[in-house]
Structure 1
Amino acid sequence: MTVDTICDSDLPMTTTQFELFGPEFTQFVFPYQCAISTLITKVQILRKGFTHLDRHCPIEHVSSRVKSPDSIMAKAQRLRCPLTVADIRQNIRDIAGVRITCGLISDTYRVADLIGGQPDVTVLEVEDYIAKPKSNGYKSLHVAVEIPVFLSDRVVQVPVELQIRTIAMDFWASLEHKIYYKYQRSVPRRLLQELTEAADVAHRLDRKMERLHNEVAGLKSAVDSDDGPLRLEAFDHDHRDRSHYRCAKPHNSTAGPLVRYSPAGGVDVCRNTTHLTDAVLQGDTRE
């Protein structure tokens, strides 16, 4: 797993902008940087745990960024938020951002559950753009969380926007961002249509890779088990409702259970990785 730390500092910070935040801007962003470090540490621990158990690891890549003063002020203006430290801290939740890239659609929800279920992490809001993509085809799971940061004189709760997506989703989003930047958001209609078509292709690829992964996992389970011959139909993840396999245990009492997500693209997903769908692995095809 690679971890990239990105600072949105490519745009120059003018004297006026600096004065709006005051001479202590570095002190203002420090808790956000600490929250990112804390969250990335949690992700690294999860990944090492999967690797140690010689199991499929849902985490492929992690990156992070802290918004620049220009980006913060631009968002504050879009939200009509007063340009004061207190108001910005209260109303803008994505000053700190962490992005996790996963291999499979189901992995994105597994990672969200694993992080959101930790006792010191509070889930503030969930925007599931995988189950309900944006109009341009953008897909990602956005989870706004709050992380405690232990400073020398106090403990502060710091919001972090967690973006979790597959490799295919991330590739599409990266290209889309470059195109929008090149055309200054005035993208020709032909390119917009092709981007939407490309998003659909990426989604079909994700679904196919999910099916292949599940079939291989099923074959391995059958080889390692003495329960009898493999029943291939148990691993045919079609569009049937398999909600009875999902764990209904809440992960966070503040935001409610993450298990409320509906399956994306007909893919069967157990939202709680600590309660594996043993019925499926053992070939139970009950309806």
Structure 2
Amino acid sequence: MKHFRRFPVFTQFRGNKPGILIGVILDRHNRLNTADLKARLKMIDLPEGNFNADEITEFIDQMQVYEGAMYEISTKLEILDDEFQVRFSHDPIHHMERRLKSLNSIIGKLERKGLPISVNSIKDNLFDVAGIRVICNYRDDVYSVSNYLSSQSDIQVLRVKDYIKNPKQNGYRSLHVIYAVPVFLSSGAHYTPVEVQFRTIAMDYWASLEHALRYKTDLPDAKLSEHSQTLLDCSRSLQNIEVQMQNIHRDINGAPQVGEAPKTTD
């Protein structure tokens, strides 16, 4: 069930009339339901046996840390968006989507990798349990926001994959950055990975359609191949259109122009 939460971005004054611009954060799932997660963990049937009470508690604690990291990053992004509006009269972020990987997705990914089902295995091998998709208006915004976020002193950049400069063979374009952000608990700071996908509006609706074609269709192979080629052509066309619109935006707006992806933290 998709849950929308609206938040005030900033107060804008036009003439003598103040107005509130409203941004949207889309949560793919509601906040972590520990009682439901505990019940589902008890029902998981694994080759090595069911989770014991200590393992269930440890798993739930770790999922709460991932959730905390996800909200830490999204709050930082909201603040950056606010600052851009004040400084440049421009909102770089159109909207954001947050999600925690489901229990089935976590276990399925560990099994596909041939890894043990344990909290330590998740912490050591999965870096996308917490995820945020940041939909920006222009390509400059993608690189500006990602670099400003990366430069914050409490942020570590673990991995960068720039599929905008180097699109996938199917035409997919997006900037993927895995950040580590501290989550402060009674036991101290726990640096926790969050995968952030930055993309423009055009990249996002292209990716949504391509995902539906790949995973949610019963089309025959010939039709699937035809549509895949059409989407590849569309991706190239959209890229050209985005460049032209970006150039117009640059001429009428003084927002920063950044054309490079963040660098990993040494």
Q: What TM-score bracket applies, with the shorter chain setting the length?
A: 0.7 to 0.9
Match of 1:23 among 56, 72, 77: 56
What does 1:1-287 align with in structure 2 at a 5 Å threshold?
1-7=23-29, 15-16=43-44, 19=50, 22-24=55-57, 25-183=59-217, 188-217=224-253, 255=265
Helix, strand or coil for the counterpart of 1:136?
coil
1:251, 1:177 → 2: CA distance? 26
Structure 1 alignment gaps of length 5 or more: 219-244, 257-287
CA contact (8 A) 2:155 2:181 kept: yes
Helix, strand or coil for the counterpart of 1:53?
helix
Q: Deviations over 1:99-138 (max 9, x none)?
A: 1111111111111101000000000010000000011110
Give the TM-score normalised by the residue count of structure 1. 0.71
> In the TM superposition, what is the alpha-carbon distance from 1:57 to its structure 2 partner?
2.5
CA contact (8 A) 2:144 2:258 kept: no
Q: Identify if the C-alpha distance between structure 1 residues 144 and 7 changes in structure 2 by more than 3 Å, giving closer, same or farther.
A: same
Q: Identify if the C-alpha distance between structure 1 residues 251 and 23 changes in structure 2 by more than 3 Å, giving closer, same or farther.
A: closer
> In the TM superposition, what is the alpha-carbon distance from 1:90 to its structure 2 partner?
0.8
Letter in 1 for 2:154: D
Q: Which one has a larger percent strand, Structure 1 or Structure 2?
A: 2
CA contact (8 A) 2:140 2:258 kept: no
2:24, 2:146 → 1: CA distance? 19
2:198, 2:88 → 1: CA distance? 23
Helix, strand or coil for the counterpart of 1:144?
strand
> In the TM superposition, what is the alpha-carbon distance from 1:88 to its structure 2 partner?
1.4
Q: Identify if the C-alpha distance between structure 1 residues 214 and 246 changes in structure 2 by more than 3 Å, giving closer, same or farther.
A: closer
What is the total number of aligned residue pairs between the two structures?
Answer: 227
CA contact (8 A) 1:20 1:84 kept: no
> In the TM superposition, what is the alpha-carbon distance from 1:186 to its structure 2 partner?
8.3
RMSD after superposition: 3.0
Helix, strand or coil for the counterpart of 2:164?
coil
Q: Identify if the C-alpha distance between structure 1 residues 58 and 158 changes in structure 2 by more than 3 Å, giving closer, same or farther.
A: same
Q: Identify if the C-alpha distance between structure 1 residues 131 and 251 changes in structure 2 by more than 3 Å, giving closer, same or farther.
A: closer
Q: Identify if the C-alpha distance between structure 1 residues 113 and 23 changes in structure 2 by more than 3 Å, giving closer, same or farther.
A: same
Q: Which moved more, 1:18-27 or 1:60-69?
A: 18-27
> In the TM superposition, what is the alpha-carbon distance from 1:56 to its structure 2 partner?
2.2
Q: Identify if the C-alpha distance between structure 1 residues 16 and 184 changes in structure 2 by more than 3 Å, giving closer, same or farther.
A: farther
Structure 2 alignment gaps of length 5 or more: 1-22, 33-38
> In the TM superposition, what is the alpha-carbon distance from 1:75 to its structure 2 partner?
1.6
Helix, strand or coil for the counterpart of 1:23?
helix
Helix, strand or coil for the counterpart of 1:163?
strand
Helix, strand or coil for the counterpart of 1:82?
coil
1:98, 1:204 → 2: CA distance? 26
